[in-house]
Every structure is written in C-alpha cells, then in structure tokens.
C-alpha cells in the first residue's frame, strides 16, 4: 500500500505531503480544483502518466514483493522518487532506473482503470486468469498445459519446416537452375588454392623480362674481370674467399633467373592474363578463392537437398498430421477445464452484478485457430449483447464485477487500484452499489478514486478535499464533521441546505 505521498511544484500545487491508510481513499472537491492533476502525479510515480512535478515521492509498505534486481525483500519498504529538471529522472530505493523499467515493475502491483481502458476484457488476459483458476481448482491442469505447450512447440516447428519446403517447391526449378548456374560458373574456372598469388608473381616477372635480360647482359662484363680482382687481392695478401663467394652467388642468381625464363617460354602471356582476370573476379565476389570453393560446395549441397525435397516433404507431412491430431486432443482437454473455470467466474460475476443493478453476464469460450495458448477465445455478453454496445456506466460496473470476482479467488491481491471516474454519470442507487462492491475489494486492494457522488464518498476510509484558492491548490484530509459538510456540498451545491446535511449524516452513519 501507499503509506506517504510528497509533491512539490506541480501546476497549481506548491507542496503536498499526505499519509494514506488502507482501504478506500476518495478525493472530492469543486471542478477545476486539481483532483485529476493530483491523481496524475501519483500515477506518474509508477510510470503510468508523464511526470511533470519538480519533485515527487511515494513510500510503499507491505507490498510483499521480492525482486533480486532491486535487492528487494518481502518485508522491505519501497521508496520511488521522481525529479524533473532538464530531464526527468526516476529513483527506486535510491537506484536510478528508466521509466520503462519502473512501469514494468509497477505492473504487478498497480492497476489503473479508466474509461478508455478495456484491457481487462482482452481474451489473452482472461485466458491467463482462467488458467490460474483452473490450476487452483485442479492440479492436473498444470501437467496438461505443460504437455500442450511442449507438443504445440513440436507441431509449430515441424509446420514451419513444411511451409518452407512447400514454398521452395513452388520455385524449385528456378532454385535448381540457379544452383547449377552458380556451381558451373566456379567449375568452369576451376580455381586452385594459392593459384591466384602464383600467377600474379609470374605476371610481374614476365612484365620485367626484357629489362632484366638487358641489364644482365650489360652487367655480365664483371665476370671478365673477376680473375684480375682475385690476382690483385693475392698481391695485397688479402683473403679472396669473400670475393669468390660473391661472384659464385651472383653467377647462381643469374643462372637461376635464366632457367626460370626458360620454363616460362612456353607460357601464353594472354592466357595467363585471362586466367588472372577470371580468378580476380572470384576474389572480388567472394573475398578469396577458398570462400568461392566453399560457396560452390554449399550450392552443391543445396542442389542435392532439392533433389531430395519430395522425400523430406512426405516425411514432414506425416509428422505434421500426427502432431496436429495430438495437439487438438490436448487443446480439447484444456477447453474442458477452461469452460469449468469460465462458469465459476460467470457465477461469481453475476453475484456481484446483482448489487450493481446489472444481470445476465455470460462468459463464453469460443474456438479460434490453434496457437501457443490453445484453441480458446473468451467473449463477454451482457444481457444478450456484445460489450461494444453497452453504455460506459454499464461497462464500468461490469469491469468492477470482474475485478472483484478475480480478487475473490485470491489470484490478484495485495495491490493498489486507481479508479478514474468510476461513478461518473451514475444514479445515486448505482453509485451506492459501486461503493458496496469497492468496500469488498478493499480486502485485496488499496483503492484511490475521484468521486462525483456522495454515496461512494461516504464509504471512504479516508476522505481528502482538494480545493483551490488564488490559483493555488491544496489537499486536506477531512474529519467527521468536515466529511459531513463536503458530502452535503456534493448533494446541494455550494449553498448547503439543512436537508443535505441530514442526508449526508445518514449516508455516513
């Protein structure tokens, strides 16, 4: 529950510092006094609304939430703070966090019901609740649901593989032709590892052949003088071995080059250049000759798989058919449990709808296409008509009955509930009915509501008056006599009558 709320500099509010109790907390006050602004500021601390206050803070206790990420124990209090300067920052027990993470955390604790929200009646959410109820009623349901989810995963995986084969089959000839074309393009070139590098060396050598040969011819004169150099060194009593070795090494180099030129004499230079161009094209496309050969291997494997596609298709079709039968049987079994749970929910809702002056709600399980949740879709009918055609007042009361029924099964509990215009445009009788049901809900929720009607206000465990003077809003918790006066104002207007005071006193008692 929310224990304390602090607010600083938010529109018409300069400062708010109030403590809340368990149960139903109601805000009343003249139009334009700032009730909705105050509610929005509270919701902003849970990431539900945009933060606009300079500083706001909320202290939560008795949430019974454990969370390793935020180092939160079951009995720990929670402090959420928002500071807005150049940008808005949120803090969770002094840890900085994003608005999205704040909203994700709050979703398990805070529920906000407003006129435009119909998410409580979304089939996916209701299926989740019915499954929790079915599990609560019969432990066999958990085993059945796990079996369904496992089998559906196998069926879905197999179906996707078959769908791919069927799609490939439609363009099989085209795929075959492309694979053959790609394989043959590489085959025709028949590249070898390191061949490209070797050919580039040959090309470089051939391009300088004439220049090297001319240079060798001119430098060969050195060998004519080698004996004279050796003789001179002997006369000088110097060791000639270094010179002899150098001359021998030079001779070997010249002869080796001459031999390599002789080996290249039979090469067709045009053919070499064409070959280099072909290999260069492969290098540019694939990155290397090795990768080109790997691509060719992959395409050969694909071609082989295309040849075997009919066999694979036949095997998968048999598996999909078998899985579909097994999944359908498990889905039918799930439906039996869900129909029973829906009946329990329907009975409970109609019990509360009597208090809310509505009746004949039907919770119907319809069949849909199989998916990971099964084959069931939940549809609500009120007095024989779809929810799209009922009034906002009826919708609010139906939603309240649903929420109260769900809380009765102790599946949703220990939360904080914010209600937006829950009793707007209702008669006194209908408002009183809503008050009765909300009092029931306070066993599981701390409820915050802006009230338009005296009947709901009179049931509040805490009553706050929001007022505005000189464009500055303030909040005040009302005592017994003050409650009586405010309720009388709601009944008769700014000029409070004796009759209104008597009626207010009766409501409070």
Question: What's the pLDDT at 225?
Answer: 79
Question: What's the pLDDT at 263?
Answer: 59
Mean local confidence (pLDDT), 113-138: 86
* 173 against 241, higher pLDDT: 241
Question: CA-to-CA distance for 35 and 151, rounded, in angstroms?
Answer: 52
461 within 8 A of 21, measured Cβ to Cβ: yes
pLDDT bucket at 261, cuts 50 / 70 / 90:
low
Question: What's the pLDDT at 116?
Answer: 66
Name the 3-class secondary structure at 246: helix
pLDDT in tens, 453-505: 899 999 999 999 999 999 999 999 999 899 999 999 998 888 888 898 889 89
Between 204-208, 318-322, 380-384, the lowest mean confidence (pLDDT) is in: 204-208
Burial of residue 286 (number of CB atoms within 10 Å: 0-12, 13-18, 19+)? middle
Q: Angle at CA 45, nearest 5°, toward 52 and 13?
A: 45
pLDDT in tens, 318-342: 999 999 999 999 999 999 999 999 9
The b/e string for 35-65 (b: 16+ C-beta within 10 A; e otherwise) is bebbbbbbbbbbbbeebbbeebbbbbeebeb
Between 53-62, 126-135, 401-410, 436-445, the lowest mean confidence (pLDDT) is in: 401-410
Question: CA-to-CA distance for 240 and 504, rounded, in angstroms?
Answer: 131
103 within 8 A of 46, measured Cβ to Cβ: yes
Domain ranges of the chain: 172-309
To the nearest whole number, what is the mean pLDDT of the chain?
87
Question: What's the pLDDT at 253?
Answer: 81
Is the model's pLDDT at 21 over the cut of 90? yes
Between 27-41, 263-277, 412-426, the lowest mean confidence (pLDDT) is in: 263-277
Between 310-319, 344-353, 420-429, the lowest mean confidence (pLDDT) is in: 420-429
Is the model's pLDDT at 169 over the cut of 80? no
Question: What's the pLDDT at 274?
Answer: 83
Question: CA-to-CA distance for 393 and 97, rounded, in angstroms?
Answer: 38
Residue 326 phi, psi dihedral angles, 5° rounding: -65, -40
86 within 8 A of 92, measured Cβ to Cβ: no
Sequence-distant (6+) residues with CB within 8 A of 251 are 223
- Best CA proximity match to 8, nearest among 59, 51, 63: 51
Strand 78-84 and strand 88-92: pairing? Answer: antiparallel
Question: What's the pLDDT at 224?
Answer: 77
Question: What's the pLDDT at 423?
Answer: 79
- Best CA proximity match to 454, nearest among 23, 26, 34, 31: 26
pLDDT in tens, 73-83: 888 899 999 99
pLDDT bucket at 410, cuts 50 / 70 / 90:
low
Mean local confidence (pLDDT), 362-375: 94
Question: What's the pLDDT at 55?
Answer: 94
Mean local confidence (pLDDT), 206-234: 77
Question: What's the pLDDT at 413?
Answer: 60
Question: CA-to-CA distance for 394 and 379, rounded, in angstroms?
Answer: 16
Between 47-56, 68-77, 292-301, the lowest mean confidence (pLDDT) is in: 68-77
Tokens of 245: 């070795």
Strand 13-19 and strand 445-450: pairing? Answer: unpaired
164 within 8 A of 170, measured Cβ to Cβ: no
415 within 8 A of 111, measured Cβ to Cβ: yes
Question: CA-to-CA distance for 93 and 155, rounded, in angstroms?
Answer: 46
Question: What's the pLDDT at 272?
Answer: 74
Mean local confidence (pLDDT), 201-229: 76
Mean local confidence (pLDDT), 353-382: 91
Question: CA-to-CA distance for 62 and 77, rounded, in angstroms?
Answer: 7
Burial of residue 199 (number of CB atoms within 10 Å: 0-12, 13-18, 19+)? middle
Question: What's the pLDDT at 364?
Answer: 94
Question: CA-to-CA distance for 239 and 112, rounded, in angstroms?
Answer: 104
Mean local confidence (pLDDT), 304-319: 82
Question: CA-to-CA distance for 460 and 22, rounded, in angstroms?
Answer: 10
pLDDT bucket at 201, cuts 50 / 70 / 90:
confident
431 within 8 A of 481, measured Cβ to Cβ: no
pLDDT bucket at 264, cuts 50 / 70 / 90:
low
Segment (H or E) for 428: helix 428-441
Question: What's the pLDDT at 332?
Answer: 96
Question: What's the pLDDT at 4?
Answer: 95
């Amino acid at each position: 529950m929310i224990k304390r709320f602090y607010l600083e500099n938010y529109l018409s509010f300069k400062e708010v510092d109030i403590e809340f109790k368990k149960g139903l907390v109601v805000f009343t006050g003249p139009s334009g006094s700032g009730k909705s602004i105050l509610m929005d500021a509270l919701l902003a601390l849970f990431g539900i609304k945009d933060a606009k206050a300079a500083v706001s803070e909320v202290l939560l206790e008795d949430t019974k939430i454990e969370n390793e990420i935020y180092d939160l124990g079951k009995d720990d209090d929670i402090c959420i703070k928002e500071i807005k300067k150049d940008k808005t920052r949120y803090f969770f027990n002094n840890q900085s966090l994003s608005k999205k993470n704040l909203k994700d955390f709050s979703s398990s604790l805070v529920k906000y019901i407003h006129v435009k929200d119909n998410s409580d009646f979304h089939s996916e959410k209701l299926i989740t609740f019915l499954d929790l109820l079915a599990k609560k009623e019969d432990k066999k349901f958990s085993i059945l649901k796990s079996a369904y989810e496992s089998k559906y995963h196998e069926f879905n995986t197999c179906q996707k593989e078959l769908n791919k084969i069927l799609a490939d089959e439609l363009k099989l000839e085209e795929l075959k032709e492309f694979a053959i074309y790609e394989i043959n393009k590489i085959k025709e070139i028949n590249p070898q590892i390191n061949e490209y590098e070797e050919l580039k060396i040959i090309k470089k050598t051939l391009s300088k052949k004439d220049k090297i040969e001319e240079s060798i011819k001119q430098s060969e004169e050195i060998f004519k003088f080698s004996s004279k150099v050796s003789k001179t060194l002997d006369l000088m009593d110097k060791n000639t071995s270094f010179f002899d070795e150098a001359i021998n090494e030079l001779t070997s180099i010249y002869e080796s080059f001459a031999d390599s030129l002789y080996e290249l004499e039979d090469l067709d230079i045009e053919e070499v250049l064409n070959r280099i161009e072909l290999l260069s094209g492969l290098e540019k496309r694939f990155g290397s000759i090795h990768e080109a050969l790997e691509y060719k291997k992959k395409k050969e494997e694909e071609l082989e798989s295309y040849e075997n596609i009919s066999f694979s298709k036949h095997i998968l079709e048999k598996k999909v058919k078998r899985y579909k039968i097994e999944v359908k049987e498990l889905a039918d079994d799930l439906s039996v449990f869900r129909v029973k749970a829906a009946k329990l929910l329907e009975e409970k809702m109609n019990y509360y709808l009597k208090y809310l002056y509505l009746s004949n709600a039907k919770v119907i399980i319809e069949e849909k296409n199989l998916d990971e949740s099964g084959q069931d879709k939940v549809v609500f009918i009120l007095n024989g008509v779809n929810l799209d055609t009922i009034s906002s007042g009826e919708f609010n009361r139906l939603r309240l009955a649903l929420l109260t029924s769900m809380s009765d099964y102790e599946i949703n509990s220990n939360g904080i509930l914010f209600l937006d215009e829950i009793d707007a445009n209702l008669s006194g009788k209908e408002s009183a009915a809503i008050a009765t049901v909300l009092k029931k809900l306070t066993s599981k929720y701390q409820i915050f509501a802006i009230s338009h009607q005296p009947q709901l206000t009179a049931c509040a465990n805490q009553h706050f008056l929001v007022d505005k003077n000189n464009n500055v809003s303030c909040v005040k918790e009302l005592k017994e006599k003050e409650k009586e006066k405010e309720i009388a104002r709601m009944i008769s207007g700014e000029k409070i009558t004796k009759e209104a005071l008597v009626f207010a006193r009766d409501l409070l008692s």
